[in-house]
Amino acid sequence: MRVILAARREDRLEALAEEIRSTGGEAQVHQADLGSPAERAGLFESACRHGCIDVLINNAGFGWYGYYSKMPWETARQMLAVNVESMAHLTSLCLPGMLSRRNGHIINIGSIVGGFSNQGVALYAASKSFMDAFTTALHRELRGSGVHASVMRLGPVKTDFFKAAKQLENGGSIPAERWAVSVERVNRALWRLLNKPRRVVYLPGWLWITQLADPLFGSLIDRLGPLLLRRSD
């Protein structure tokens, strides 16, 4: 595959692109703030100059932990732009070409909190819930078209996600960091998904049980969950 890497930090992109090239792969870098509609459109145009877009991986996103009442609106607005608008916009740009070729795969990188909302991540959980609903509907619309839509519902992953969240205004430490899995493990699961498309993948796999947590234990979580947030405040 020829890979187009897009994010704000060009130095990190170039380092990853060089790693891909050193193993015989092809990679191009496009620096962009995916919270900007104009820069998303620019990314799409740039990618198209390298050929057809066969796979779109919507991975851009960031988190924030704490009471929603203390979340600055500018942080909330940026989260909606990156976590929600970016995914929907890039999908709308790439999907027509995939449908015309009857081939393609859209993979959205979600989170278990999309279906298991908890204290401290109100807007982040809502953004991932949007992703879950969007991907499910899209998956069903695309059935028989040759194009696939999938969501990866991940637990915590060892990236800069946690550090970045803590550095935002009024942001706190996200407790789940201690249980994070490696990026390599996610990559292996993503590769399996590309080779065998399905609507949803949980990682770690046992997290599928979170679908049952709220119906079975929601009333208990209502009482105990806020205590965890107070302790981190």
| pLDDT tens for each residue of 124-172 | 999 999 999 999 999 999 999 999 999 999 999 998 888 888 899 988 8
- Tell me, yes or no, whether 84 lies in a domain: yes
pLDDT at residue 64 in the model: 94
Q: Quick check: 112 and 125 in contact, CB under 8 A?
A: no
> What does the DSSP assignment read for 36-79?
SHHHHHHHHHHHHTTS---EEEE-------S-GGGS-HHHHHHH
- Tell me, yes or no, whether 32 lies in a domain: no
pLDDT-derived band of residue 116, with 50, 70 and 90 as boundaries?
Answer: confident
pTM over cut 0.85: yes
pLDDT at residue 212 in the model: 75
- Tell me, yes or no, whether 198 lies in a domain: yes
Mean pLDDT computed over 29-52:
96
**What is the tally of structural domains in the chain?**
1
- Tell me, yes or no, whether 46 lies in a domain: no
Residue ranges making up the domain that contains 60: 53-232
pLDDT at residue 217 in the model: 67
CATH number of the CATH domain containing 209: 3.40.50.720
- Tell me, yes or no, whether 33 lies in a domain: no
Question: Percent of the chain at pLDDT above 90?
Answer: 75
